[in-house]
Structure 1
Amino acid sequence: MNNSSFSHKVGMGLRPPHFSFLEQRPTTEVAWFEAQTETYIHTQGRSLEMLQAIRQDYPLALHGISMNIGSPEGIRVDYLQGLRDLIERVEPFIVSDHMSWNSVSGQNLHNVLPLPFTEDSLETLVNNIDFVQNFLRRPLVLENISTYISYTHNNMNEWDFVTEVSRRSGCALLLDLNNVYVNSHNQGFDPKYFINHIPLDRVAQIHLSGPSNYSGLLYDTHSQEIPDHVWDLFKLLAPQIRHLPTLIERNEDIPNFRELEVEVMKAVRILENSYEAERNTESV
């Protein structure tokens, strides 16, 4: 069982390779778990049973990849109904997805694809968010994504687009620092500039993960240890976001639970050190 104060707010992605370990209800340093929505909606069996068992001991967040929130085709109601049923079962403290699109004519492309940063795209996204939030009867949290292309008809930058989405729709933001780092490396901007130009008061959650490097380009594979560049961004932000839930995310090449837990403990130390630094400053 969890012996870490939820005030530390550092969690881990819930992954099937860890199920057998977690069934033993071990003492961990993990404060909460985030489950991938699509694994658990419209289904029964071991995965859902495990999710409900974990929920008895830990707070849960739900994180989706198939909402298709940016599509002009609109949102599939059957998907939202399955999500609403799952929300009623496990009572997550956050429900999130990606600021992206992922299907055409009902065909899922199995990837989160970038949106054009245009007024038309912004209007479509805001309208879809309004529909989803009304359907689910709760706020939605949306993540900035990694991108490897840009559209020639973009007429705003990513940080202004993200800011306008949150301002106009009322949705909260999931700030993925790995995605900021990946995009800054591939597209040549300062990641600190991105962070300084989005509304941190609208951020509800933080993601930390590690990219892969192929021929000088970074890809958001979630298969590596968190690199120093991402930790540095987290340290920089820690005094401003230490009240927020932070997630260690690994989707591929998943190590054993205790090995991945080391990154959870590192994030906790960074947050605690930010408290110590502030207290020392106040006492001077």
Structure 2
Amino acid sequence: MERLGTGIGWRPEIADAVERMPGIEWVEAVAENLCSGHLPASLCRLRERGVTVVPHGVSLGLGGADRPDAGRLTALAERAEALGSPLVTEHIAFVRAGGPLTASPRLEAGHLLPVPRTRDALDVLCENVRIAQDALPVPLAVENIAALISWPGEEMTEGQFLYELADRTGVKLLIDVANLHTNHVNRGEDPADALAELPLEAIAYVHVAGGFERDGVWHDSHAHPVPGPVLDILTDLASRVSPPGVLLERDENFPDAAELERELGAIRDALEKEQGQAAPTREPARARSATAPTAPTEPTAPTDPADPAEPTEPTDPARQRLALAQAALLSSLVAGTPAPEGFDRVRLGVQARALGGKRADVVAKVAPELPEILGGGYRPAFLAYAQRHPMTGGYRRDALDFVEQLLLGGRLAEGRPRRELREWWLERSGPAPRSARPGVRLARATRQVLRRPLSRR
């Protein structure tokens, strides 16, 4: 794997600071925030200086029951080529559920949710990864995610699941040591055990990030300083293998450049504690519990031991079982349906509130006029809306739907905020020929309501 060195997550809010930082050898940019034909000038300048740029995807949903969307894969491939990137990265997560496999409405999580560590989920994930690998012009690496909740009936540990995935697909791994810490606090999983089971030779690079603990739950916020326990996990990893690259992630609450540089210095110090005497790469512990003897099955034809094993492809029933499980979980988180059996209901409530809060924050970013118009009333109004209206079409559509509901619901009194929201919505919902516009009846109804005197609503 190509050596990357020390890097930082490039974000528009800190673009100028990143360009001036000493010792930055590479950066990572959220793929969905880039347009391959109009790259940010800051990234272009970094590339001209020889700084590697890696696109980091967040919306493929490789751990979902559906096969990866061809359009999303094409867009990711175009961004990798435009940036001249040596690899692209995504997450081992699902981000949407429902649809044809479950004959239910499509739901969007707006967040990365954990995949159950089961044989069904692993088979589906492996095929989805192979589809993505075939569509991308450069190697793919996939990241372990942080989780607030655990799936009941899991068949493998985190390390075993990652080992099997890399072994069967050849995919590289992006190991997030902050996520290992999160799962230690939230799910009782020992980071050292996970590291001991990983295929260390498959590591492409490492993420380091901060978070915070509240009521015994660790929130992977990417908005707080990197804590000591996360740096300790990084040191443990460096004692086992020298990672090709390490990157600091920060997505919110950006400190000044000097503070970011101090965090990068702490990361370098954590690596140097053990990197100079890194242990030789060891053969990871194979997925013992996952390959334990099972009940006898029908005999099969003998195979030539010299022939490589054929990869296991998921059956349609396996995809459907996973689809039903994921749809039930996501529906309970965003639509208020009953919690699926076996889940911790208290922890599901924490996850549901976290999803609602993130949804409000992202809508405020993609439509910054809304919190400006509504002021302190924006967040409670949006959270009340989100409890009754699951997201089905992305954050920009979510912003439009939120304003439609405010205007149609009659709860917003006549005055400046209502007039400004009406103009905002009318401007962004058109213009287009009526026959070609989706939701035209809703638009007409909105206008009719808005034209009525307030006393008649």
TM-score normalised by the chain length of structure 2: 0.55
Matched, 1:50 2:42: yes
* C-alpha distance in structure 2 between counterparts of 1:20 and 1:122, whole Å: 41
- Cα distance in 2 for partners of 1:101, 1:35 equals 20
Q: 1:108 to 1:157 in 2, by over 3 A?
A: same
Residue number in structure 2 paired with 1:3:
none
Residue 35 in structure 1 maps to residue 29 in structure 2: yes
Residue of structure 2 in register with 1:73 after alignment: 66
| C-alpha distance 126-230 of structure 1, shift in aligned 2 (>3 A) | same
| Residue correspondence of structure 1 range 83-232 to structure 2 within 5 A | 83-104=76-97, 105=99, 108-232=108-232
Separation of aligned partners in 1, 2:275 and 2:166: 28
1:141-166 deviations in whole A, cap 9, x for unaligned?
01111111122232222221111111
SS at match of 1:222: coil
Letter in 2 for 1:61: V
- Tell me if the contact between 1:117 and 1:154 (Cα under 8 Å) persists in the aligned partners: yes
Comparing 150-159 with 29-38, which one deviates more in the overlay?
Answer: 150-159
Gaps of 5+ in 1: 1-5, 279-284
Q: Is contact 1:8–1:268 with CA below 8 Å preserved after alignment?
A: no
Residue 257 of structure 1, CA deviation: 2.4
CA displacement 1:27-83 (0-9 Å, x = unmatched): 512221111111104673xx6333222222211112111111112211111111111
Letter in 1 for 2:22: T
| Aligned counterparts of 2:271 and 2:240: Cα–Cα separation in 1 | 10
Q: Output the CA distance in 1 between the equivalents of 2:24 and 2:36.
A: 28
**Cα distance change of structure 1 residues 276 and 158 upon mapping to structure 2, 3 Å threshold:** closer
1:127–1:166: structure 2 CA closer, same or farther, 3 Å change rule?
same
Deviation by residue 1:127-146 (Cα, 9 ceiling, x = unmatched):
01111101113321011111
Q: Measure, in 2, the Cα distance between the counterparts of 1:147 and 1:129.
A: 21
TM-score relative to the length of structure 1: 0.87
Distance 2:243 2:59 in 1: 28
Task: Return the offset for 1:7.
Answer: 6.5
Give me the whole-angstrom Cα distance separating, in 2, the residues matched to 1:83 and 1:252. Answer: 24
In the alignment of these two chains, the number of paired residues is 269
C-alpha displacement of 1:268: 2.1
Point out the structure with the larger helix share: 2
Larger strand proportion of the pair: 1
Q: Kindly provide the amino acid, as one letter, of the partner of residue 49 in structure 1.
A: A
CA deviation vs aligned residue, 1:198-231 (integer Å, no higher than 9, x gap): 1111111111111211111101111111111111
Give the aligned residue type for 2:225. Answer: E
> Contact conserved, 1:62 with 1:96, CA < 8 A, in 2?
yes
Whole-angstrom CA distance in 2 between matches of 1:97 and 1:193: 23
* Identity score, percent: 28
Asked whether the 8 Å contact 2:142–2:172 carries over to 1, the reply is yes
Match of 2:407 in 1: none
Q: Is the 8 A contact 1:173 1:202 kept in 2?
A: yes
CA RMSD of aligned residues (A): 2.1
Residue type at the aligned position of 2:40: L
Aligned to 1:59: 52
State the Cα deviation string for residues 236-276 of structure 1 (Å, max 9, x = none): 22243334100011111111223212111222233344455
Q: Which has the larger radius of gyration?
A: 2
Taking CA–CA contacts closer than 8 Å with sequence separation of 6 or more, which of the two structures ends up with the larger relative contact order?
1
- SS at structure 2 position matched to 1:195: helix
2:254 paired residue number: 254
CA contact (8 A) 2:238 2:274 kept: yes
Distance 2:36 2:85 in 1: 17
Amino acid at match of 1:167: D
Q: Structure 2 stretches of 5 or more lacking a match?
A: 100-105, 279-457
Is the CA contact 1:29–1:264 (under 8 Å) kept in the aligned structure 2? no
Amino acid at match of 1:264: L
Using the TM superposition, name which of 261-270 and 174-183 deviates more. 261-270
1:26–1:192 distance in 2 versus 1, CA, 3 Å: same
The answer for the alignment partner of 1:17 in structure 2 is: 13
SS at match of 1:263: helix
Preserved contact between residue 54 and residue 80 of structure 2 (Cα < 8 Å): no
Q: Quick check: 1:29–1:265 contact (8 Å CA) kept in 2?
A: no
The structure-2 alpha-carbon separation of the partners of 1:147 and 1:131, relative to structure 1 and needing over 3 Å to count, comes to same
Shift of 1:108: 3.7
Change (3 A) 1:75 1:41: farther
